[in-house]
Each structure stands twice: as C-alpha cells, then as structure tokens.
C-alpha cells in the first residue's frame, strides 16, 4: 500500500460505527460502539486512518497526569502490515510529546505475539503484569503492561 495515500484524522462521533465494526473484526472480546462513544464523550483522544475514504484503522488514548494510556488500537485485517498501525502509533506518540507526557503505556495479551513484536519494534518494554485482566474463551488471560518512555526522547 502506498503510505502516502493514507490520511489520518481525529476520531469523531461520526466515526464510531466504523470503528466498532473494525474492532469487532479484530478482537475476540471487542469494545462496543458505546465504549467508543463514551470514551470520546469523556475527552479521550482518538484517530482514524483512511484511504480513499475507507477507514482502515483507529486508535484511542486516555491522558493521565503522568502518562498516556493507549486504550485500543485496531487495523482491518485486509490492511494489516501496510503501515496503518505504525501511522496510528506514531500519532499517539506525537500526541504524548505535544501534551508533555513522558510515557505511553498499554496492555497486551501475552498470546498476541504479533502485537508484542510490533510494540517492541517501536521501543516499548514490558514493565509489569496484570493477572486475569482480559476475558478469554476459558476463564481470564493476563495482560503484559508495556511502556514507551519518552522523557529522554524529546521531539
């Protein structure tokens, strides 16, 4: 995919249906449309990537006083490994820098090896573990807490 053909926009309430549709395709236990709408209403920052008007992916971040939390990021299956996720993650990192936040943190399933490799390639390191954080088909699954420190990595 020609990365130049990708456009990045702030997520708005008008995007929520498409965002929820992508989320339901890429997650076993997806966020609902209401989760996304509530997040935007609460002031969380989100972005969407489009190509020729079609939404390919999204990310949603919650700011805290000491860091930002990447709550959810998703890319349509047919658009994965084409720079969409990287574009979204870079926007999240740029947002942290612009807001003066020294770190970006997230949770990821240990079973999601592709996502872990993606985050590691972008400088994230595992800093903790949340036991039983995610629902799973049988019981619960732990979450790795991964963080990207930005303080020494000024823009």
Active site annotation includes 113: no
Q: Would you say 74 is a known binding-site residue? A: yes
Q: How far apart are CA 97 and CA 94, in angstroms?
A: 5
Catalytic residue chosen out of the listed positions 18, 107, 134, 141:
107
What's the N-to-C CA distance of the chain in angstroms?
A: 28
Q: Would you say 84 is a known binding-site residue? A: no
Active site annotation includes 23: no
Catalytic residue chosen out of the listed positions 18, 44, 119, 134:
119
Q: Which of 80, 154, 62 lies closest to 118 in space, CA to CA?
A: 80
Binding-site members for acetyl-CoA are 73-75, 112
Binding-site members are 73-75, 112
Residues known to be catalytic: 107, 119
């Amino acid at each position: 995919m020609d990365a130049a053909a990708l456009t990045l926009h702030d997520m708005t309430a008008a995007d929520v249906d498409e965002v929820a549709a992508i989320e339901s395709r890429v997650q076993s236990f997806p966020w609902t449309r209401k989760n996304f709408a509530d997040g935007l209403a609460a002031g969380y920052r989100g972005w969407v990537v489009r190509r020729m008007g079609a939404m390919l992916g999204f990310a949603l971040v919650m700011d805290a006083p000491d860091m930002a939390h990447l709550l959810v990021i998703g890319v349509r299956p047919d658009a994965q490994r084409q720079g969409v996720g990287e574009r979204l993650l870079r926007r999240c990192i740029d947002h942290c820098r612009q807001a003066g936040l020294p770190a970006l943190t997230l949770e990821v399933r240990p079973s999601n090896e592709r996502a872990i490799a993606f985050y590691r390639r972008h400088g994230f390191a595992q800093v903790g573990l949340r036991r039983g954080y995610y629902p799973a088909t049988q019981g619960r699954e732990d979450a790795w807490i991964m963080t990207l420190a930005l303080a020494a990595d000024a823009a």
